[in-house]
A and B are shown apart, each in its own frame.
Chain A
């Protein structure tokens, strides 16, 4: 990882939830970097900590959750570096980054927009806040950005309310809202999961267009390997709060190293293939009952060894820009974070 290029760098991040039933280590010592203009994917099953990672980067983790340790370094255009993990979640400094430098696109366009304000008002709200524009200027900006994301006759639709938009249009409006302040990093948390496939393709294409126009860095969070293949330059595979493999997208698909990644790939159906799918056996373990310092995938892993239940594997360098957290690769160089 060439750190100098990274606009965003997460180091050893831990986000824990203190619940009545015990401590949930939703994000446990993960590290990842995002370069200017690239798309980094985070892929994993439900509950693996993808969304908590996203919320941590936005510093929007709500109690009982909390960022306990680690750094989230944001290097802005002017060269200054901010550690988001150290900022107060509701502090002025964090709020001036949020929506302005780092924006987020949420999963459910149906529920992620406030029902009682027009689309235009909701976009203008952020623009007025961060760019210090007047109401009229902000409105013009909202029309412009709505047009950019492909809303037809935006000068009319701007006064519509969310319930008057279709799902796909709402997600476009959501993207417009995220892009309205020209952020450098956009975190998309399952942006197409709630949409049907044809709309999904449109939205992904739109995101790519916007990325090349605005030189955006995108963190694409999804459980869908198809979306990853379509969008990501690099991929992080997450399992039970940890990143277990990180590689270029091609390497993940053609040269997967971690047994979990392998399992994920084998459970994708292919058209024309008559063989039975091989699901990953077992289920995602309950994060509450996990002992520390073992490999959490071991109980479901076809390659499990004795050591897997005894010690947590370190992150091994297994190829060019390819890391894997698995005892199978013992002997390779250990990646320091």
Chain B
């Protein structure tokens, strides 16, 4: 088990390196840079920008260097000092912006993930065990609806319904009176009151597809011989289902945690814009529009890295649950 974890962790390093290169390349590839839009902005305001000023700015932001030098510079400062560079648009260190936004993103993503699994696994099992029952049909229908309705639409509908009929604004992460307040029990409770909206909005489609997967795998497992063996031991049906069939069926579900995370994070970006959440999504979107490259690159890099780490965790979890995986090479 230990060698398995070690091997998987070491394998992460080249992946992370590739991600950083791609993140940088994606940011750097489009024509123009932050300066172009900055100058355009200044000129629109009527200011006259001289050639010297532009050159000075280029020098200041190291834009006169070739791409690979800028990449190495960037990655070196991250590794060595934890310095992600300066956001041109905000005129603040990227690290500060990350520290502000990232905890919310991680918080919302993880809670959504937990919610998704807590809801999907029991429903999937139930749907499989009571296949073609009315409850199975209801879950199936609700599931397909959840898959088909775009997140942002669901967010808009929820916001409208709650505002129109209950007079509550459910956007944002906090009520106005708590937004700038220090942390307290009341603020935490206020957070919980707001948190369920993004969780439901972001989690619905993931939950729906997980239910389908869980149901399908469970149906397969229930037909297998070992289930009959377990019954022949005299175990009760619930023990046979939960302890034997579901334990095996949950494997493919756990192995997709790794893919679910990026889905949640990118889904979160759109929803966060609609719901006005203080997460990374809207900031990333903005930084891409204004070609605020260090900010955008850092976001993409960090979010991808988190996904890789999430995948690693799900692999470790899987190996812990399924002995067939952890013994593959060492057996």
Contacts and interface: CB of A to CB of B under 8 A. Distances in A.
A116 B237 contact: no
A58 B235 CA distance: 13
A125 B233 contact: yes
Interface stretch (B73-81, B205-213, B316-324): B316-324
Interface stretch (A6-14, A91-99, A133-141): A91-99
Contacts of B230: 114
Given A111-B226, A163-B327, A164-B331, A116 B231 contact: no
A77 to B, nearest CB: 17
A253 interface: no
Contacts of A116: 247-248, 321-324
Contacts of A90: 236-237
Contact of A58 (B225, B226, B232): B232
Q: Which of B232, B247, B331 has the largest count of A CB atoms less than 10 A from its CB?
A: B232
Given A90-B236, A116-B321, A163-B327, A98 B231 contact: yes
Given A60-B228, A114-B247, A164 B327 contact: yes
Interface in B197-227: 224-226
Given A95-B235, A98-B233, A111 B247 contact: no
B248 A100 contact: no
A99 B233 contact: yes
B233 A106 contact: no
Nearest to A62: B228
Nearest to A174: B229
Nearest to B231: A60
Interface string A138-169: 00000000000000000000000101100000
B234 A114 contact: no
Contacts of B231: 60, 98
Contact of B323 (A98, A112, A161): A161
Contacts, number: 78
Contacts of B233: 98-99, 125-126, 129, 177
Contact of B235 (A104, A111, A118, A125): A125
Q: Which of A117, A174, A177 has the largest count of B CB atoms less than 10 A from its CB?
A: A117
Contacts of A73: none
B325 to A, nearest CB: 10
Contacts of A111: 224-226
A95 B232 contact: no
B70 to A, nearest CB: 50
B234 A112 contact: no
Contact of A129 (B234, B247, B248, B323): B234
Classify the secondary structure of B's interface with A.
Answer: helix
B225 to A, nearest CB: 4
B244 interface: yes
Nearest to B328: A163
B323 A108 contact: no
A106 B228 contact: yes
A99 B228 contact: no
Interface residues of B, number: 22
Interface in B302-331: 321-324, 327, 331
A182 to B, nearest CB: 13
Contact of A161 (B234, B248, B327): B327
A96 B225 contact: no
Given A60-B228, A108-B225, A115-B248, A163 B235 contact: no
A24 interface: no
A130 interface: yes
A106 B225 contact: yes
Contacts of B247: 114, 116-117
A95 B236 CA distance: 7
Contacts of A117: 244, 247
Contacts of B321: 116
Nearest to B322: A116
Contacts of A114: 226, 229-230, 244, 247-248
A58 B228 CA distance: 11
Nearest to A91: B236
Interface in B246-304: 247-248
A113 interface: yes
Interface string B56-83: 0000000000000000000000000000
B232 A99 contact: yes
A164 B229 CA distance: 19
A103 interface: yes
B234 A98 contact: yes
A98 B232 contact: yes
A308 to B, nearest CB: 37
B323 to A, nearest CB: 4
B229 A106 contact: yes
A13 B32 CA distance: 84
A116 B254 CA distance: 14
A163 B331 CA distance: 10
Contacts of B224: 111
A59 to B, nearest CB: 10
B171 to A, nearest CB: 44
Contact of B234 (A97, A106, A163): A97
Contact of B324 (A58, A96, A107, A163): A163
Contact of A115 (B226, B232, B235, B331): B226
A111 B225 CA distance: 6
B250 to A, nearest CB: 9
B248 A96 contact: no
Given A99-B235, A111-B225, 13 more contacts: A60-B232, A98-B233, A99-B233, A106-B232, A111-B226, A112-B225, A113-B226, A114-B226, A114-B244, A114-B247, A117-B244, A161-B327, A164-B331
9 contacts: A60-B231, A90-B236, A98-B233, A99-B232, A111-B226, A114-B229, A115-B226, A163-B323, A163-B324
Interface of A: 58, 60, 90, 95-100, 103-104, 106-108, 111-118, 125-126, 129-130, 161, 163-164, 174, 177
